[in-house]
Chains A and B, each alone.
Chain A
Amino acid sequence: AQSVTQLGSHVSVSEGALVLLRCNYSSSVPPYLFWYVQYPNQGLQLLLKYTSAATLVKGINGFEAEFKKSETSFHLTKPSAHMSDAAEYFCAVNGGSNYKLTFGKGTLLTVNP
């Protein structure tokens, strides 16, 4: 079985501040992990993914995430928030199934000027 918990359904930061979106997973096998972003009225766009190579993964738009097996975490960070980062972010896990991604409930990021 696999599951994802995103801590905080809503995160608000000031422009230029650090962005930290938390994701914890459970998986019975070494997982593949994903972060997707959804802008208003759009589909989900892949930000980055971890597939058992480097534990620090860099994605688009300056985001990165670090896989920490001991903490079963895959938190998403960005050093300096931009207004254009305002969106909903979803963490997802694939824990061995050949197709199924299990998504978290999402975190809505608000960036204040």
Chain B
Amino acid sequence: DAGVIQSPRHEVTEMGQEVTLRCKPISGHNSLFWYRQTMMRGLELLIYFNNNVPIDDSGMPEDRFSAKMPNASFSTLKIQPSEPRDSAVYFCASGGSGRGQETQYFGPGTRLLVL
């Protein structure tokens, strides 16, 4: 299996621009997570999908952030408009659901820099 795939790996953009991050989970996994990692805050869970449905978006910072999962093999995280404080590494992870299937498998991340 190719593992969790994320694109782009690096993104540099200017403040105010729209940014779209993409994720392809591991085939057969029905849970998908978006995380943000910064030096100041560490690893933060932004949103969790189960069977393509958003279950918990309490970690999404504000309305500028949105996430979708139109099918089992694709998810996007969009920031519009972007701000310098959004600069971080964004990880997508996938896994099973239910007791005993909590292991999450992480993608390589997208390193976002907003100027």
Contact = CB atoms under 8 A, between A and B. Distances in A.
Interface of A: 32, 34, 36, 41-46, 49, 51, 90, 94, 98-101, 103, 105-106
A46 B48 contact: no
Interface residues of B, number: 26
Chain B interface helix/strand/loop/mixed = strand
Given A42-B108, A98-B97, A99-B48, A106 B42 contact: yes
A43 B102 contact: no
Residue among A34, A94, A99 with max Cβ neighbours from chain B (10 Å):
A99
14 contacts: A34-B102, A36-B106, A42-B108, A43-B93, A43-B106, A44-B91, A44-B93, A44-B106, A90-B43, A99-B55, A99-B56, A99-B102, A100-B45, A103-B42
Nearest to A93: B102
Contacts of B33: 99
A65 to B, nearest CB: 15
Interface string B82-100: 0000000001010101111
Nearest to A45: B106
Given A43-B91, A44-B91, A106-B42, A101 B104 contact: yes
Given A98-B99, A99-B31, 5 more contacts: A42-B109, A43-B108, A44-B106, A99-B102, A101-B104
Contact of A99 (B97, B105, B107, B111): B97
Contacts of B56: 99-100
